[in-house]
Amino acid sequence: MKISRRDFIKIGAKGLLAGVAFSSVPFLLQGLVKNSSRAIAADGGGLERHNWGFICDNEKCIGCGRCVVACKKENKVPWEPEFNRTWVERYIITEDEKIYVDSPNAGRDGFQDFPPKLDVPESEVWKSFFVPKLCNQCHRPPCVTVCPVGATYQTHDGVVLIDQDHCIGCRYCIQACPYGARFFLPELGVVDKCTWCYHRINRGLIPACVEVCPVGARIFGDLNDPAGTLKTTLAQKRFYVLKPELGTEPKVSYIGFEKGVY
Amino acid sequence: MTHLKRAGALLAVVLLAAFVVPRIIPVPDDLISFGFHKVDEAANEQFWASLPMQYANPTVCNDCHQDKSSSWTLGDHRAVSCETCHSPANDHIAGKGLPAVDTSRDFCGTCHSSLISRPANFPQIDIGEHGGQNTCVPCHNPHDPREGMPPRLPHSMEGRENCQSCHNPSEPLVTVPPRVPHTLEGRENCTSCHGTTEARPTALPRIPHSLEGRDNCLLCHNTSAIKPFPENHTGRTTDTCRNCHQPAG
Amino acid sequence: MTGFIFPNEGVIEWDLLIVIYPYITGLVAGAFVVSSLYHVFGLTRLKPVARFSLITALAFLLVTPLPLVVHLGRPERALEMFLTPNLTSAMSAFGYIWFFYLIILVAEVWLVFRPDIVRYASSSEGTRKTVYTALALGMNTLTEESLTVDRRLIKVLSFIGIPVAFLLHGYVGFIFGAVKANPWWSTPLMPIIFLLSAIVSGIALLIVVYLIVTRLRRAEVEHRCFHFMALWLGGFLTVGVVLEGLEVFSMLYEQEESWQIISQLLTQRIAFTYFGIQFVLGSLLPLLLLAATALFKMEERFKTGLAFLSSVLVLIGVFAMRWNVVIGGQLISKSLRGFTSYAPPLWGLNGIVVASIILLLPFIVLAVLIYFIPPWQEEIKPPERRGLGYRASGLR
């Protein structure tokens, strides 16, 4: 049999294609299998049995910033104020209902006196309060939708995590997050965010920021636990979530002052 | 049309080289994992779940430091975790140094300096005025900050504007409710020292039954009677019960 | 920084590199549209620039991924975009659309230029012969039959190419338009606006480069073709400006919560680049100039000069538009209470120098392409060796 050059290329190309298609099958299967095996928590239970939730109580928060410090220490977040998994904002509303917000050093060093930048006297303040912020671990997270390589994902207990070994550092997720909860780590070239102290909550502990809050302004718990503090508090109190109109369904609920808090 | 066939073959080769070959040949796992939208979620969850912790919790601290935790559990700081002030403990538990404690005025002031934004019922001081420029610890035991301080009111102030109507310092006979043990000179405002219960509500037991036909409380509640009042209620008379205890409903 | 921004918002994450990325993609789409107007819609007046626009599109397309890869935090993982795409992400489509478009464009260029390549292969010697023979894939003969098939294929390819070019750039607009967290970006008009400004900038680029290259070649400017391009430029520019205005006008009219911050953005933060450059200098002025060339009788040279000037202004205006979208959108804090600030650094990977080099690269690629496969139809003899000055500039 005589094979022309053209035929050779043709046959070769077909053979190569078929070989490639065939040899990729085990990889595909492997991917499926990997998907179905879930991680096991340190306390022996599967990670998926919870549905974590969070409450921030603006009426209790005193703006001491211990949460910000604890978060940075617990999660090795860079100490500089540009990198925050959690932070505290101060709202000052004047008698004529102008709203001033600040967060010096993200609240890490607490809050000093009356904000120096504000040009209204303290006597004209109508009301003022602190608002702790952190990742809302949205039920429908826009950051996960936009990640081009699927490096960020939602766990089965509702926490949004980043695989930093997979993240390419395009920062689309930072743009997509309506709450400013994500930030870029220039040294690693990847994005970082609050995990609700995934390593603590899977050991049966509470996140570090909740642990150190001196006034109980942060409550962490399981939304599936009807008798838990989280669920009972939500049952008794009026609460709201941030930017509900965006349809992200945040899982951090806020108690207290709402107007102008985004 | 040989040129088109060759072009097609070239295209096939390029496509293979660009998309398929990198998946087939062994490449570092962290660079390429196979399949659409694929991070190994289970492994990554496990990675995050198994990171080391820095902060322990008060239960752990209590294992060694009962002396401190016994006063802490009773004091007003009992809701404040040890590590809020002492910084993370796990290095200390692992035998690597002591957790640092900042005892400066400014550190106490992070919570207690007066700010307009803080909840009004949260104890706050003017950091510039209060107690000169001394550090706080000599006066305030940080584990029980009100230790040695004037006692808090055990009842609400509602309907009780005039403290002296019950706690009259000049009538020694009336010992219950407690007599004021000091003069009132320069101390017009009792609640400036004796905190109100709003910060620590300790509800007094209400009377669980109706009072109809039961004018004389001591008939039942005297020390020797069927349902005696607590031992520290010595000297109470029928007239004074309802100063503190109201009928339920 | 003014007002309040979330603490993590101090850094502009999508910087100058991401400004020039949609700029370059837009030029591709626009240049391709010109070639398609000739190849598909049979606008024969565009024949003198049809082949030129094709290789211009190719030159810019080849550089498109570069600013993206340079901008990545982990550029070595760029391939993940192809290999592990998350299909819900608009961005993951980029690799595929880009690659698909590249194949179409390379195929079309090859087919269009194949007769030339074959001719060069048979008439040149030494290394050049090897290069051209390789480019011809070893087929150094042309038959009438094969040329007929090629012509048909060219038409098919440019036909497919139009939606893909639109997809490539519409998708860039979608990347921004689909970010609901950002009130300045989040509008369904964004892909269309991007598309139109892409076409506009592409045509303007062709006008500019065509005129410059023709002058450098000391060749005659094809005035009919030139003004026909200018006419199309004016048409697309009109629609583009109307849409851009409409977008902001509806925001103004609806007066949503976010309008306050957007109006501050437009009037304080990017007032100069928005009203000054994008609208007045880059849209209204060229529109007026183009209208003048169409309405008033004037000397041909003067007319050409005005069209050239308009095109330069349009190119600047579209760049300002990219800036106002990409940077402007990030200046707004998502707290809707303040602005961060941004000034591109001169040096460094995200700096002006690197961005300029990347912007310059497509012209170098274009010069190389022109050197190997001159698109000028009147010049069918193989390129001769000339002085270094000419070759280095690549402008023959």
pLDDT-based confidence at B195, cuts 50/70/90? Answer: low
Please report the pLDDT score of residue B216 as a whole number: 83
Q: Is B70 inside a domain boundary?
A: yes
Which chain C residues have any C-beta within 8 angstroms of a chain B C-beta? Answer: 76-77, 79-80, 82-88, 99, 103, 107, 110, 114, 136-139, 146, 149, 153
Strand partners, A57: A255
Contacts of C231 (CB under 8 A, 6+ apart): C290, C294
Map tokens 């006419």 to a residue. Answer: C231
Q: Which of A148, A191, A262 sits opposite C86 (nearest CB)?
A: A148
Inform me whether the C-beta atom of residue B27 falls under 8 Å from chain C C-beta atoms.
no
Q: Is B100 inside a domain boundary?
A: yes
Q: Residue A192 has what DSSP assignment?
A: E
- The mean-pLDDT minimum among B137-141, B146-150, C336-340 falls in B146-150
Q: Say whether the ipTM exceeds 0.90.
A: no
pLDDT-based confidence at B200, cuts 50/70/90? Answer: very low
Q: How many domains does chain B have?
A: 1
What pTM was computed for the model?
A: 0.82
Q: Is B135 inside a domain boundary?
A: yes
Contacts of C251 (CB under 8 A, 6+ apart): C187, C258, C259, C262
When the pLDDT of each residue in chain C is averaged and rounded to a whole number, the result is: 89
Identity of the residue numbered B226: I
Identity of the residue numbered C193: I
Share of chain B above pLDDT 90, in %: 12
**Does A26 have pLDDT greater than 50?**
no
**Hey, is C392 helix, strand or coil?**
helix
Q: Quick one: average pLDDT of B48-53?
A: 93
Contact C230, C50 (CB under 8 A): no
**Does A25 have pLDDT greater than 70?**
no
Q: Give the closest residue to A137 by CA, choosing from A69, A55, A200, A199.
A: A55
Share of chain B above pLDDT 70, in %: 78
Taking a contact as any Cβ pair under 8 Å apart, which residues of chain C between 292 and 331 contact chain A? 330
Residue numbers in A near C14 (CB within 8 A): 171, 175
Map tokens 């603006």 to a residue. Answer: A58
Please report the pLDDT score of residue C81 as a whole number: 84
Please report the pLDDT score of residue C58 as a whole number: 95
- The mean-pLDDT minimum among B134-138, B186-190, C323-327 falls in B186-190
**Does C121 have pLDDT greater than 60?**
yes
Instruction: State both tokens at C274.
Output: 């928005």
- The mean-pLDDT minimum among A67-76, B7-16, C356-365 falls in B7-16
Residue numbers in C near A145 (CB within 8 A): 88-89
Query: φ and ψ at A185, to 5 degrees?
Result: -100, 100
Cβ of C78 within 8 Å of Cβ of A189? The answer is: no
Share of chain C above pLDDT 90, in %: 58
Cβ of B38 within 8 Å of Cβ of C84? The answer is: yes
Residue-wise pLDDT tens digits, C276-326: 999 999 999 999 999 998 888 888 888 899 999 999 999 999 999 999 999
pLDDT-based confidence at B208, cuts 50/70/90? Answer: confident
Q: Which of A133, A150, A175 sits opposite C182 (nearest CB)?
A: A175
Q: Terminal CA-to-CA distance of chain B, rounded, Å?
A: 99
Cβ of A31 within 8 Å of Cβ of B34? The answer is: yes
**Hey, is C331 helix, strand or coil?**
helix
Q: Which of A130, A161, A214 sits opposite B48 (nearest CB)?
A: A161
Residue numbers in C near A164 (CB within 8 A): none
Q: Is B241 inside a domain boundary?
A: no
Q: How far apart, in whole angstroms, are the C-alpha atoms of residue C3 and residue A121?
A: 18
Residue-wise pLDDT tens digits, B119-128: 988 888 888 8
Q: Which of C79, C110, C136 sits opposite B32 (nearest CB)?
A: C79
The CATH number corresponding to C2-393 among 3.30.1370.10, 1.20.1630.10, 3.20.20.70, 2.40.440.10 equals 1.20.1630.10
Q: Quick one: average pLDDT of A190-212?
A: 95
Inform me whether the C-beta atom of residue C7 falls under 8 Å from chain A C-beta atoms.
yes
Please report the pLDDT score of residue A14 as a whole number: 59
Residue-wise pLDDT tens digits, C145-161: 888 999 899 989 988 98
| B94: containing domain | 59-115+124-139
Residue-wise pLDDT tens digits, C338-370: 999 999 999 888 899 999 999 999 999 999 999
- Please give, one letter per residue, the 3-state secondary structure of A81-141: CCCCCEEEEEEEEECCCCEEEECHHHHCCCCCCCCCCCCCCHHHEEEEEEEEEECCCCCCC
Residue of higher predicted confidence among A216 and C379: A216
Q: Quick one: average pLDDT of C125-149?
A: 87
Cβ of B43 within 8 Å of Cβ of A39? The answer is: yes
Measured CA to CA in angstroms, residue C351 lies from B135, B219, C18, C69, C77 at distances of 51, 91, 12, 15, 22
Share of chain A above pLDDT 70, in %: 80
Kindly tell me the sign of the dihedral angle through the C-alpha atoms of C378, C384, C389, C394. Answer: positive
Strand partners, B77: none
Residue-wise pLDDT tens digits, B54-63: 999 888 888 8
- The mean-pLDDT minimum among B222-231, C82-91, C199-208 falls in B222-231
Residue numbers in C near A106 (CB within 8 A): 7
Please report the pLDDT score of residue A18 as a whole number: 57
**Does B203 have pLDDT greater than 80?**
no
Residue numbers in C near A144 (CB within 8 A): 88
Q: Quick one: average pLDDT of C387-396?
A: 44
Please report the pLDDT score of residue A191 as a whole number: 96
Q: How far apart, in whole angstroms, are the C-alpha atoms of residue B222 and residue B238?
A: 10
Q: Give the closest residue to A234 by CA, choosing from A213, A219, A249.
A: A219
Q: Quick one: average pLDDT of A170-199?
A: 95
Q: Which of B33, B50, B117 sits opposite A92 (nearest CB)?
A: B117
Which of C84, C87, C110 to mutate against chain B (most B CBs within 10 Å)? C84
pLDDT-based confidence at B237, cuts 50/70/90? Answer: confident
Instruction: State both tokens at C55.
Output: 């290789």
Residue numbers in B near A73 (CB within 8 A): 54-55, 87-88
pLDDT-based confidence at C387, cuts 50/70/90? Answer: very low
Residue extents of the structural domains in chain C: 2-393
Residue of higher predicted confidence among B51 and A1: B51
Strand partners, A102: A90
Contact A105, A212 (CB under 8 A): no
Query: Within 13 Å, how many C-alpha atoms sit on residue C379's CB side?
Result: 19
Residue numbers in B near C76 (CB within 8 A): 31
Q: How far apart, in whole angstroms, are the C-alpha atoms of residue C347 and residue C119?
A: 46
Give the DSSP H or E segment for C305: helix C300-331
Measured CA to CA in angstroms, residue C10 lies from A82, A106, A132 at distances of 6, 11, 18
C-alpha Rg value of chain B to the nearest Å: 34
Q: Residue A46 has what DSSP assignment?
A: B
Residue of higher predicted confidence among C94 and C101: C101
Map tokens 């998309």 to a residue. Answer: B19
Strand partners, A54: A220, A252
Q: Is B69 inside a domain boundary?
A: yes
Residue numbers in C near B10 (CB within 8 A): 137
Residue-wise pLDDT tens digits, B60-106: 888 888 888 888 888 888 889 999 999 899 989 888 887 778 889 88
Which of B31, B116, B122, B126 to mutate against chain A (most A CBs within 10 Å)? B116
**Does A28 have pLDDT greater than 80?**
no
Contact A219, A229 (CB under 8 A): yes
Identity of the residue numbered C310: S
Query: Within 13 Å, how many C-alpha atoms sit on residue C156's CB side?
Result: 8
Residue numbers in C near B23 (CB within 8 A): 83
Q: Which of C7, C14, C181 sits opposite A178 (nearest CB)?
A: C181
Q: Which of C4, C13, C85 sits opposite A148 (nearest CB)?
A: C85
Q: Is B53 inside a domain boundary?
A: no
Cα A10 versus chain centre, distance? 52
Cβ of C77 within 8 Å of Cβ of A149? The answer is: yes
Please report the pLDDT score of residue B191 as a whole number: 72
pLDDT-based confidence at A58, cuts 50/70/90? Answer: very high
C: neighbours with 3+ CB pairs under 8 Å? A, B
Residue numbers in A near B118 (CB within 8 A): 62-63, 130
Q: Residue A191 has what DSSP assignment?
A: E
When the pLDDT of each residue in chain A is averaged and rounded to a whole number, the result is: 84
- Percentages (nearest 5) of helix, strand, coil residues in chain B: 35, 0, 65
**Does C396 have pLDDT greater than 60?**
no
Contact B75, B99 (CB under 8 A): no
Contact A229, A221 (CB under 8 A): yes
Residue of higher predicted confidence among A19 and C212: C212
Q: How far apart, in whole angstroms, are the C-alpha atoms of residue B141 and residue C264?
A: 52
Cβ of B37 within 8 Å of Cβ of C79? The answer is: no
Q: How far apart, in whole angstroms, are the C-alpha atoms of residue A119 and residue A203?
A: 48
Q: Give the closest residue to A162 by CA, choosing from B175, C195, B47, C103.
A: B47
